[in-house]
Structure 1
Amino acid sequence: MTGLVGYLDGVAALGPGFDNWPMLAAQLRGEQPWQAAPTQLPAPQGLPSAERRRVGKPVRLALALGFEAAAMSGAALTHLATVFAASGGDGDNMHMMCTALAEPDRAVSPTRFTNSVHNAPAGYWGIAAHAEAPCNVLSAYDASFSMGLLDALGQVQAERRSVLLICYDTPYAGPLADLRPLPEPCGTAMLLSPQPGPASLARIALRVDAAAPGTTGHAAFDALAHAAPSMRALPALAALARREHGSFGLEAPAGLALAIELEPCA
């Protein structure tokens, strides 16, 4: 493998029909059937009760993913660098704010405004995980997963430190949903480290290459990967679940060809 390289020490998944990575992995291997169902977002961990009541779907989704991936690796959260990648923001809050601005008094709730910003999940992660390490937040539309992975692996290789990548999508409401249709809330997380360890699941690389897009071998999951930018990871996760070597092209900005390569650890 060439390019940016790291070791996958933890993984998480949450979406329609799967509540965690072990459940999704069993479905990708064909051991359990996948059934369409609304995403079940758990209550956010680590937040004071007042904050738990205020947060929306993106925060609940991102926190669940981050805690699952970190728990698998046993990483200490306080000093764990993070990258948050999402193609959009809190669609429910945006719809409610736009509705309020269309009313005569144009009164926008300060809480809604606070939670509408794109980096709100990263801020709540800092509170919930007592995180003190660097945190990057990015959005690259349909290329959000590949750009998040590029950022995370770049830090892993350059800084020689572990990085938690959290990618997620939540749908918009009202007229915005027609302009940017997205499925049920869904996302993935990867804990990436600079060297292999007892918890390492696979060696993962990101390289400049015009490789063909991958598939999961499951029509429903391929459709989800096409519909939600955060789920572009699914072909690689399918290879991980089956302990197979794989190389897959990724969505990237114009003029850039990227491929992810995964090799399971022994």
Structure 2
Amino acid sequence: MKVAIQSIGVLAPGLSGWEASRRVLAGAEPFMPAAVPDPEAALLPPNERRRSSDSVRWAVQVAQEAMAQSGLNPRDVPTVFASSGGEMGVLDALCRTLATPERIISPTLFHQSVHNTAAGYWGIATACQQSSTALSCYDDSFAAGLLEAVAFVCVEQCPVLLVAYDLAVPFPLNEARPIGAGFAVAFVLAPSIPSALANMSLRLEEAGEGGASRLQEPVLERVRRDNPAARSLPLLCAIAAGGSQRVALSLLESQQVVLDLEPCRL
């Protein structure tokens, strides 16, 4: 399966937007983790933004960045949202409320607890009525989301927006699921076009001895290991570096998604 990577959005400590992060991801500048301000997620109407969760704002922020670069109308683009845990902050708040004598749950909090909350808010913000998929595959959620999005592009021959996100898990849930920092990334994938960032072919293989691709920069490699959405980092680094690249992502222990990248030529 072959597709074009048309545009990218990214948000993480030390990676604030694709254009601002390209030299860091290419290894030309040092990676300097820094606190991430609350994303603007400007596409969200004021009332929806006020009610939205942190996960929603992170997902919408990278999605709107990728869509703005692509030049496409978000109303016309199907979506795939991938997250290992979804609304873990909301889950923590619900559990804490249920542990009180009153056990009174806010309707707003309750409606944010479902796994496809970010996809729903994106639909509200953009008035998009195209197909939308929300999925989870534990640590391999990004690879599963990428496989779903690439298959959609190849079958339907239209662009697809892929968004992967996972935020820090609050205590005490982080004792079972230790994710210490947020990471969100978005790709607009399309049938091959010469003006894209890169062309990418994807195939499934049995997991080899080498396993998933790792990063040479120790701090970035730690980010990759510690957040499921950050398993996208080898792909982001390969695109930023340019040239022909091969990236492997683990999928369901016994398989891996192998990506062969070729830079596009205008």
Shared fold, TM over 0.5 = yes
Cα distance in 2 for partners of 1:138, 1:78 equals: 21
Query: Structure 1 residue 220: deviation in Å?
Result: 1.1
- Structure 1 residues 244 and 215: alpha-carbon distance in aligned structure 2, compared to 1, 3 A threshold: farther
Q: What is aligned with 2:87?
A: 90
Query: Structure 1 residue 23: deviation in Å?
Result: 2.0
The 8 Å contact of residues 80 and 148 in structure 2, kept in 1 or not, is answered as yes
Residue 125 of structure 1 aligns to which amino acid in structure 2? W
- 178-187 vs 78-87, which moves further: 178-187
The 8 Å contact of residues 168 and 186 in structure 1, kept in 2 or not, is answered as yes
Query: Structure 1 residue 216: deviation in Å?
Result: 3.1
* Structure 2 unaligned blocks of 5 or more: none
**Superposed counterparts of 1:195-210, under 5 Å:** 195-198=192-195, 200-209=196-205, 210=207
Cα distance in 1 for partners of 2:101, 2:125 equals: 38
**Superposed counterparts of 1:146-161, under 5 Å:** 146-161=143-158
The 8 Å contact of residues 38 and 184 in structure 1, kept in 2 or not, is answered as no
Runs of 4+ in 1 over 4 A off after TM superposition: none
Cα distance in 2 for partners of 1:6, 1:125 equals: 24
Q: What is aligned with 2:214?
A: 215
Q: What is aligned with 1:185?
A: 182
Q: Normalising by the residue count of structure 2, what TM-score does the alignment of the two structures yield?
A: 0.94
Residue 122 of structure 1 aligns to which amino acid in structure 2? A
**Which of the residues 89, 93, 101 maps onto 1:104?**
101
**Which of the residues 32, 54, 58 maps onto 1:35?**
32
Cα distance in 2 for partners of 1:29, 1:256 equals: 27
Cα distance in 2 for partners of 1:31, 1:15 equals: 18
The 8 Å contact of residues 26 and 238 in structure 2, kept in 1 or not, is answered as no
Residue 216 of structure 2 aligns to which amino acid in structure 1? G
- 41-50 vs 220-229, which moves further: 41-50
The 8 Å contact of residues 39 and 184 in structure 1, kept in 2 or not, is answered as no
The 8 Å contact of residues 41 and 64 in structure 2, kept in 1 or not, is answered as no
Cα distance in 2 for partners of 1:44, 1:28 equals: 23
Secondary structure of residue in 2 paired with 1:78: helix
Does the alignment pair 1:260 with 2:256?
A: no
Q: What is aligned with 2:67?
A: 70
- 33-42 vs 110-119, which moves further: 33-42
Q: Normalising by the residue count of structure 1, what TM-score does the alignment of the two structures yield?
A: 0.94
Secondary structure of residue in 1 paired with 2:103: coil
Query: Structure 1 residue 215: deviation in Å?
Result: 2.8
* Structure 1 unaligned blocks of 5 or more: none
**Superposed counterparts of 1:117-128, under 5 Å:** 117-128=114-125
Q: What is aligned with 1:227?
A: 226
Residue 235 of structure 1 aligns to which amino acid in structure 2? P
Q: Deviations over 1:185-231 (max 9, x none)?
A: 11111110012142x01011221223532233311111111111111
Residue 225 of structure 2 aligns to which amino acid in structure 1? H
Secondary structure of residue in 2 paired with 1:65: helix
Query: Structure 1 residue 49: deviation in Å?
Result: 1.7
Cα distance in 2 for partners of 1:190, 1:264 equals: 16
- 55-64 vs 25-34, which moves further: 25-34
The 8 Å contact of residues 169 and 180 in structure 2, kept in 1 or not, is answered as no
Q: Deviations over 1:127-182 (max 9, x none)?
A: 11121211100000011011000100000001111101000111221210111011
Query: Structure 1 residue 244: deviation in Å?
Result: 2.5
Secondary structure of residue in 2 paired with 1:263: strand
Residue 156 of structure 1 aligns to which amino acid in structure 2? V
Does the alignment pair 1:240 with 2:266?
A: no
Aligned residues: 262
